[in-house]
Structure 1
Amino acid sequence: MTKVLFVVRGDATVPSCRFRAYQFEGPLGKLGVEARYFVEGRRESPVDWVRTSFRLMREVGLGGYDAVVYQKRLQRERVSLIRAFHSNVWYDFDDAVYLGHERRFRQTLKVSAGVIAGNEELASHARRHHSRVAIIPTAVEVPEIYTPPPKDGPLKISWVGTAGNLKYLEPVFAALDSIRGAGTDAVLHVLTDEPGSVSGRPGVVIEVWSKHAEEKALVDCHVGVMPLPDDDWARGKCACKALQYLSYGRPVVSSPVGVNVSLFENEAFGSLATSAGDWASALTRWNGSREEIAKAGRLGREFVIENYDVCSWALTLKTLLVG
């Protein structure tokens, strides 16, 4: 059987590891490719770095892999060590990790056999330093069974993300206060790893993230939100959370930044919002008709199945890595 090793920073609770590596295990397996994982650790002392490097070199040297995918960290030295034992080593990234680290980014790419970027914004930057750049978008698993949004009760708005991104919710909080003050029965459900930092807000329900809680939140909500600032880091984002909502058949309100612009510019299954007033108008639109939510959600789900389903992209990844 063909074998691919993913060198990752953490377990499946780390979003980029989950969506860019671990979720490919099943789809690649069906294609005759065994996916294995080597976890580096996100912070290493110099001694740990040497020990981890020896373990990694042993794994690569003896594992019989057809390809190695090194994820996201800017580690020229470690990628060079891997390539001493294996020629087919690809660097994969889904964020603008080059910001403030251009030299390390260039050096890491130079010692890689190829580069996999999560979107065109990232790929265009990578092409400055490498001639072999492919785009594999951050795809999502689409539930086999579609569950319609709730017909009754308040408008349930969902946000899922890490604590570091909670600051982006400010326009959503302001919009929630506005529409609730105007008489709309609405609740914002926030699912995050550190919920204490946004507790005590009216109309906001906080819950600690888990995969089960995430799946339940996506089923129970009417609309998902993905607020972002318009800066270089956000423009490199891969719209993963928006695609998750769509895969469950839920429309999305998003900031007009990066990939989200092309996803929602025709507003067939989502809305774009910048100011708190825009967010309030967009959320009010989706509160107007549960039938419209269901119709738009089904269109979004079909769009994801056609363009961002992980099973389809697993075949592309296999072809890229091992032919």
Structure 2
Amino acid sequence: MERHLDSCAVTPYGRGAGSSRVRVFEWLDRIDTDFTVSGYLSLTDAAASRLLRHPPALARAELRLGAIARARPRRLLLHREASPLSRGWWERRLLTSAEFAVYDFDDALQWDLGEGGLARRFAPKAGKARLAVRYADRVVAGNAVLADWAAQHHHDVVVIPSCVAVEDYTPKTSYALHDPPRLGWMGSPHNEASLRLIAAPLTEVHRRTGARLTLVGTTAPSLGGLESFVDRVPWNPDTQRTAPAAMDIGLMPLPTTAYGLGKCGYKLLQYAAAGLPAAASPLGVNGELLSRFGLPAPRTQDDWTSALLALLDASAATREQLGRSAREIAGRDYSYDTWLPRWAAALELPEPGARSAPRGVPAERRPAAGPDRGVPCT
């Protein structure tokens, strides 16, 4: 690691974590340039309880970051944060050590002040995100909300959504309702709490239709009274690929907070990739996705009840039209193949099928309007 590195990617998680997989590994799988990748402990999250179970590996991960900085990479991609223990020192050191450094973020980290525990308060993401934006040569943001904030602190900000590969998802083939109907949600344990925001509508829809809730994520009960009609499926790459096709309606509620506003609509894109009709809070980039997909955008509790009942009461042909249209749009406008030239340009990599541009030539900016100004990640 002490030798000079050509291209290096630093991410806080391993391939099993959605953010790192979608924003780093899936891109690297599609290019010819070799990257040295540091995934810290290569875990699916950086919860303090998990980190403390691996003290030797934790020490090695911190030492590895120092070795990367000393190797002075020619090109560095830093995703989200370098270390959950850092208060900004690693982010600054890594970004300034590289000849050309790109900072990529896909959540409203700038508004994450560390609520939720001592470890998070010790090293809140907000401060290190601000430092990373300041010291990067270029910033890649997952949606326009994040880009607008970053542009207040950096002159070179590119919007690149968190893409999907529709071919990786089992397409939905039958739109006749299951008996009982299946409402569905996929995501991390941390984000599962968003379902509590629509607990009353879900309970009412269950009362009227018998609909059950399929959750793809953790198997640990956490939703109180909703658990009486919840069926839990552990997340793994196979269930992510196949589970949406076995649902009738996808769900993506979001809290009306600054952090929620910056969330990317990745769940909506996953549902769309499978051809699954869905309902979601029209917050931030979700609003644009819902409009493009022609899907309901409930805001109030009554809206959610009405939207879910309307989708369940609709004909199978109507649900099929909604699902197939969303899948077509996702495959055309939010795929890795569509965005790969833009991503490669942002990192000043050779364009697929072309020679590398001279150093210092900036990546082309997308216009203020269009599908890329409002899309994705979880």
Matched residue SS, 2:102: strand
Shift of 1:243: 0.6
Matched residue SS, 2:228: coil
Matched, 1:212 2:226: no
Counterpart among 52, 65, 69 of residue 56 in structure 1:
65
Shift of 1:193: 2.5
CA deviation profile, 1:195-220 (whole Å, cap 9, x unmatched) = 32237733321222222122221121
TM-score normalised according to structure 2 size: 0.75
Q: Do 1:198 and 1:206's aligned partners in 2 also have CA atoms closer than 8 Å?
A: no
User: Superposition pairs for residues 156-305 of structure 1, below 5 Å?
Assistant: 156-182=182-208, 184-198=209-223, 201-265=227-291, 268=294, 270-287=295-312, 288-305=314-331
Matched, 1:78 2:90: yes
Shift of 1:189: 0.3
In structure 2, do the counterparts of structure 1 residues 198 and 170 end up closer, same or farther at CA, with 3 Å as the change threshold?
closer
Partner of 1:91: 103
User: Equivalents in 2 of 1:234, 1:221: separation in Å?
Assistant: 25
User: Equivalents in 2 of 1:19, 1:3: separation in Å?
Assistant: 22
TM-score normalised according to structure 1 size: 0.87
Deviates more, 1:224-233 or 1:151-160: 151-160
In structure 2, do the counterparts of structure 1 residues 47 and 186 end up closer, same or farther at CA, with 3 Å as the change threshold?
closer
User: Equivalents in 1 of 2:190, 2:138: separation in Å?
Assistant: 30
Deviates more, 1:84-93 or 1:222-231: 84-93
The count of aligned residue pairs is: 316
Matched residue SS, 2:193: helix
User: Equivalents in 1 of 2:33, 2:269: separation in Å?
Assistant: 25
Q: Do 1:159 and 1:225's aligned partners in 2 also have CA atoms closer than 8 Å?
A: yes
Counterpart among 55, 58, 75 of residue 67 in structure 1:
75
Q: Structure 2: which 5+ runs fail to align?
A: 114-124, 350-378
Residue identity in the other structure for 2:64:
R
Greater strand proportion:
1
In structure 2, do the counterparts of structure 1 residues 307 and 266 end up closer, same or farther at CA, with 3 Å as the change threshold?
closer
Q: Do 1:79 and 1:112's aligned partners in 2 also have CA atoms closer than 8 Å?
A: no
Partner of 1:116: 140
In structure 2, do the counterparts of structure 1 residues 9 and 102 end up closer, same or farther at CA, with 3 Å as the change threshold?
closer
Q: Do 1:149 and 1:250's aligned partners in 2 also have CA atoms closer than 8 Å?
A: no
Q: Do 1:7 and 1:71's aligned partners in 2 also have CA atoms closer than 8 Å?
A: yes
CA deviation profile, 1:32-63 (whole Å, cap 9, x unmatched) = 23344211244679998775354235446669
Deviates more, 1:43-52 or 1:233-242: 43-52
User: Equivalents in 2 of 1:36, 1:58: separation in Å?
Assistant: 12
User: Equivalents in 2 of 1:257, 1:6: separation in Å?
Assistant: 31
CA deviation profile, 1:43-86 (whole Å, cap 9, x unmatched) = 679998775354235446669x6521111127542233334542
Percent sequence identity over matched residues? 24
Partner of 1:25: 28
Partner of 1:127: 151
User: Equivalents in 1 of 2:263, 2:153: separation in Å?
Assistant: 20
Q: Do 2:105 and 2:140's aligned partners in 1 also have CA atoms closer than 8 Å?
A: yes
Counterpart among 319, 323, 341 of residue 315 in structure 1:
341
Q: Do 2:74 and 2:99's aligned partners in 1 also have CA atoms closer than 8 Å?
A: no
Deviates more, 1:100-109 or 1:296-305: 100-109
Matched residue SS, 1:250: coil
Shift of 1:105: 3.2
Q: Do 1:171 and 1:275's aligned partners in 2 also have CA atoms closer than 8 Å?
A: no
Shift of 1:322: 1.9
Q: Do 1:194 and 1:208's aligned partners in 2 also have CA atoms closer than 8 Å?
A: yes
Deviates more, 1:250-259 or 1:204-213: 204-213
Matched residue SS, 2:30: helix
User: Equivalents in 1 of 2:160, 2:6: separation in Å?
Assistant: 19
In structure 2, do the counterparts of structure 1 residues 271 and 50 end up closer, same or farther at CA, with 3 Å as the change threshold?
same
Q: Do 1:162 and 1:194's aligned partners in 2 also have CA atoms closer than 8 Å?
A: no
Matched, 1:9 2:12: yes
Matched residue SS, 1:319: helix
User: Equivalents in 2 of 1:107, 1:47: separation in Å?
Assistant: 28
Matched, 1:141 2:165: yes
Q: Do 2:160 and 2:339's aligned partners in 1 also have CA atoms closer than 8 Å?
A: yes
In structure 2, do the counterparts of structure 1 residues 170 and 57 end up closer, same or farther at CA, with 3 Å as the change threshold?
closer
User: Equivalents in 2 of 1:123, 1:138: separation in Å?
Assistant: 14
